[in-house]
Chains A and B, each alone.
Chain A
Amino acid sequence: MEPKIGVYICHCGSNIAGTVDVEKVAEFARGLPAVVSSRDYKFMCSDPGQDLIKKDIKELGVNRVVVASCSPQMHEPTFRRAVQEAGLNPYYFEMANIREHCSWVTESRKEATEKAKALVSAAVRRVFFHEPLENKEVPVNPDTLIVGGGIAGIQAALEIANSGHKVYLVEKEPSIGGHMMQLDKTFPTLDCSACILTPKMSMVGAHPMIELLSYSEIDFVSGYVGNFKVKIRKKARYVDITKCNGCGTCMTKCPVKIDSEFDEKLAKRKAIYTPFAQAVPNVTVIDKEHCTYFLKGKCRACEKFCERNAINFEQEDEMIEIEVGNVILTTGYKIFDPSVMKEYGYGRLDNVLTSLEFERMVNSAGPTAGHILLKNGQEPKSIAIIHCVGSRDEKYHEYCSRVCCMYAMKFAHLLKEHVHGAEVYEFYIDIRSFGKGYEEFYNRVQKEGTVFFRGRPGEITDVAETPEEQGKLIVRFEDTLVGKMRRLPVEMVILCSGIEPQADAQEMAHKFNISCGKENFFTEKHPKLDPVATMTDGIFIAGCCQGPRDIPDTVAQASAAAARVLALINKGKVEIEADTAIIDEKKCSGCRVCNLLCPYNAISYIEKDKVSRINEALCKGCGTCVAACPSAAITHKHFTNAQINAELEGILV
């Protein structure tokens, strides 16, 4: 079949045509070898644009197509489909990027036009050597792995499990629940956080389609969309999960007291413990680092009193391997540690709290049974709440944490409710109350008499300058709306610490072969149009691991991720791109260099034939093996030497 090439130059409105002389480029393309048709059009991606291509294929016998327009990331699938609909193999298509690579980054019209010509000439010469390829289909395993058992993971797990598909929910802590379990009320409706979360938690615990792997961590991930293999480390609990019924006798008998992580170190827990009363699973775990038996070799009090013989000091970490088709990462966040901001005195001054500490304190199941108390056991009469601690600050995190304004106002409301006659002051830079019912909540808190000062305090000090300031915490700030300097003595300060990525976010991203942005939140496939997918097919993200967000947004995102997974499960198969590497077994010397280099473990050595072979489903077409093969036995389909040389030649002439 003699190549007949059709070239189509897109104006992209003025995006390209504003800088590139598209007509000149089209005229130039007309003179290139084997080109039978060259046109320019306002929007090639539109239906009439695609019809131009289809018409030329049918009427002029065009059998190779070049579209010079945007990035292949945007519209390669569109044009491949158009070519296919006209009866050609979709791989008889090549895209020249004259927008991102040319018009958007070149100022001079002359230079941009010349560059566009070079890119078109390269694509035309390359497409000459294109060969028809067939995409492969692989089946999708209907099981799903969800990593992280906070509200995002719980929501996604229930959505998928309720559709009748198996879910493995992995949580590194002894219980699911995440940060939401630590919160007292939720803004703006003031639902009790635990009351709305625990029913979902127990549903997860009891669901026949959910296998809950608590106190477990991801060890190793291999495979590809539809067919992942995941190794999971089930950390030793030293308690037999099948025998323990959560009666709690061991916790009362254990002599060791340690700061409770769940209560932000404001209360104590035992060395054998469940993080909180409604834990799911309701099974204790022994904290090996603090257990007297593990430290000194004797005690075993828990073992003596356990009626069900559930304690097992000989338990070891267990590795299990599961196979799943899709993964949803819902690994959440941690809060910013304000002790690095010395000016606010956290950790140095008494009665300066973080937001999460206050959540525990105001909670009726918390360390003070819901009483707001100073270190001396008395109720504070005046409280300052400081917004934007660690957020909107280039020294820490440039971004806005999105939840602090709202929870700060929730705190003001709760303070007015819990402490009779409390004076509450909010120190803000800008109030961001953008959600449904949020602005109304702001109005409500204003009505309740909370005072709003616009200005971020410079410092909190305990050095008094007047008798009224004696024994108080003094907030030094400028009331910026008045332009006056103020010193405000208060008894308690709450720092609204921002949201930051988990410490192991990068490591986790690496395990699942996805990427992290500048701040270490996971990167979505497209910030607007594909917010729960990642660049790795079959790996989805939801909740704060992708960026700061509140509970309603997290739940919506988790459901969205579940919907994406269900779509893949329902279809039952995925198409794998045909541009993989292939080994010419006649040339292969069996040296196995490629086996070691392949980042996707797609190449294996066949002992019987003394050659290496590539698993096309695993191959991502990265080209590493092609470059490394000393016998030049490996070819990258759709990136053959002939194609690449022709492309280079096209750029250079």
Chain B
Amino acid sequence: MTENAKTTFLDEVAALPACDRINECIQCGVCSGSCTTVANWEYPPRKAIAMIRSGLRDELLSSNSVWFCVSCYLCTARCPRDIRPAAIMHGLETLALREGYKPPTNTTTMYRTFADSLIGNGRIYEFGFMFKYFLKTNPLAALRLIPTAVSLLMHRRMPLAPPKVKGRNDLDKIVRKMSEGGER
């Protein structure tokens, strides 16, 4: 492609990881028909792909579509053209964040808190992780989960103290290496 050729929304998405087959979509709708959370989507996945092709960038990135993808991969398992719709949905999430669109769900906070807990403790620390997540989002919503928490505690399925992991220094080195030069 020459330098002054305008990059389309389609080109932009096709360049994202594992999204290169988007041109081959035949709009059959199997992805939508298989999607487990599609009831909440403003535009079903098939339509999201059509919108990418039409260049409706702002309309799609500012919508709540994509953010409800729970990575069940049924769409990807059934897609007759192997275009990997789940990868496209996650690619769009990345793109929307990078462009400063505000996510309509707490998905990003969840991802970030999860990753912080993992990096900080070397293993998931459920109690601390959920505590921080609710602090950042809606502390009142945590009240609803108290019975579950109590039950987990009583069955000793949720320790109150953070887990002890051997070789924390090595883990830090790995994380540092991974973060070098890229976004975390």
> Chain A interface (Cβ within 8 Å of chain B)?
343, 388, 392-395, 429-430, 454-459, 476-478, 480, 483, 485
Residues 63 to 89 of chain B near chain A (Cβ within 8 Å): 74-75, 78, 80-82
Chain A residues whose CB sits within 8 angstroms of the CB of B75 once the complex forms? 458
Chain B residues whose CB sits within 8 angstroms of the CB of A343 once the complex forms? 34, 78
* 10 cross-chain CB contacts under 8 A: A393-B80, A395-B82, A429-B28, A455-B32, A455-B46, A456-B30, A456-B33, A457-B30, A458-B29, A458-B35
Question: Interface stretch among B8-16, B36-44, B140-148?
Answer: B36-44
Alpha-carbon separation in the docked complex, A429 to B79 (Å): 13
A485 engages B80 (CB within 8 Å): no
Q: Least Cβ distance of A4 to chain B in Å?
A: 52
B107 at the A interface (CB under 8 A): no
Give the contacting residue for B32; candidates A388, A393, A478; CB below 8 A. A478
Q: Least Cβ distance of B142 to chain A in Å?
A: 30
Give the contacting residue for A459; candidates B33, B38, B80; CB below 8 A. B33
A478 engages B80 (CB within 8 Å): no
Q: A392-B26, A483-B43 are in contact. Are A476 and B80 (CB under 8 A)?
A: no
B29 engages A478 (CB within 8 Å): yes
Q: A476-B33, A477-B33, A485-B44 are in contact. Are A455 and B80 (CB under 8 A)?
A: no
Chain A residues whose CB sits within 8 angstroms of the CB of B34 once the complex forms? 343, 458-459, 476
Q: Least Cβ distance of B31 to chain A in Å?
A: 7
Chain B residues whose CB sits within 8 angstroms of the CB of A457 once the complex forms? 30, 33
Give the contacting residue for B47; candidates A388, A395, A483; CB below 8 A. A483
Chain A residues whose CB sits within 8 angstroms of the CB of B28 once the complex forms? 388, 429, 455-456, 480
A456 engages B29 (CB within 8 Å): yes
B78 engages A429 (CB within 8 Å): no
B27 engages A480 (CB within 8 Å): yes
B80 engages A395 (CB within 8 Å): yes
With both beta carbons as reference points, the residue of chain A lying nearest to B81 in the complex is identified as A394
Alpha-carbon separation in the docked complex, A141 to B35 (Å): 62
Alpha-carbon separation in the docked complex, A388 to B26 (Å): 12
B46 engages A458 (CB within 8 Å): no
Q: Least Cβ distance of A365 to chain B in Å?
A: 36
B82 engages A485 (CB within 8 Å): no
Question: How big is the B interface, by class?
Answer: 20 to 34
B31 engages A458 (CB within 8 Å): yes
For the complex of A and B, list the 7 residue pairs with the smallest distance between their C-beta atoms, beginning with the closest.
A458-B33, A458-B34, A478-B32, A455-B29, A393-B80, A478-B29, A456-B28
A455 engages B82 (CB within 8 Å): no
A456 engages B44 (CB within 8 Å): no
Q: A388-B28, A429-B26, A480-B46 are in contact. Are A456 and B35 (CB under 8 A)?
A: no
Chain A residues whose CB sits within 8 angstroms of the CB of B27 once the complex forms? 429, 480
Q: Least Cβ distance of B145 to chain A in Å?
A: 26
B26 engages A478 (CB within 8 Å): no
Chain A residues whose CB sits within 8 angstroms of the CB of B38 once the complex forms? 478, 485
Chain B residues whose CB sits within 8 angstroms of the CB of A458 once the complex forms? 29-35, 74-75, 78
A394 engages B80 (CB within 8 Å): yes
Q: Least Cβ distance of B53 to chain A in Å?
A: 13
Alpha-carbon separation in the docked complex, A483 to B35 (Å): 14
With both beta carbons as reference points, the residue of chain B lying nearest to A456 in the complex is identified as B28
With both beta carbons as reference points, the residue of chain B lying nearest to A392 in the complex is identified as B80
Alpha-carbon separation in the docked complex, A66 to B160 (Å): 88
With both beta carbons as reference points, the residue of chain A lying nearest to B30 in the complex is identified as A456
With both beta carbons as reference points, the residue of chain B lying nearest to A478 in the complex is identified as B32
Chain A residues whose CB sits within 8 angstroms of the CB of B82 once the complex forms? 394-395
Give the contacting residue for B44; candidates A395, A454, A483; CB below 8 A. A483
Chain B residues whose CB sits within 8 angstroms of the CB of A393 once the complex forms? 80
Chain A residues whose CB sits within 8 angstroms of the CB of B78 once the complex forms? 343, 458
12 more CB-based (< 8 A) A-B contacts, given A458-B29, A480-B32, A485-B39: A388-B80, A394-B82, A429-B27, A454-B29, A459-B33, A459-B34, A476-B34, A477-B32, A478-B44, A485-B32, A485-B33, A485-B38
Q: Least Cβ distance of B5 to chain A in Å?
A: 21
A480 engages B29 (CB within 8 Å): yes
Q: Least Cβ distance of B182 to chain A in Å?
A: 33
Alpha-carbon separation in the docked complex, A459 to B74 (Å): 10
Chain B residues whose CB sits within 8 angstroms of the CB of A485 once the complex forms? 32-33, 38-39, 44
Chain B residues whose CB sits within 8 angstroms of the CB of A430 once the complex forms? 26
With both beta carbons as reference points, the residue of chain B lying nearest to A429 in the complex is identified as B28
Alpha-carbon separation in the docked complex, A476 to B36 (Å): 11
With both beta carbons as reference points, the residue of chain B lying nearest to A483 in the complex is identified as B47
Interface centre among A395, A478, A480 (most CB of B within 10 A): A478
Q: Least Cβ distance of B147 to chain A in Å?
A: 27
B33 engages A478 (CB within 8 Å): yes
Chain A residues whose CB sits within 8 angstroms of the CB of B80 once the complex forms? 388, 392-395, 456
Alpha-carbon separation in the docked complex, A159 to B74 (Å): 52
Alpha-carbon separation in the docked complex, A392 to B28 (Å): 10
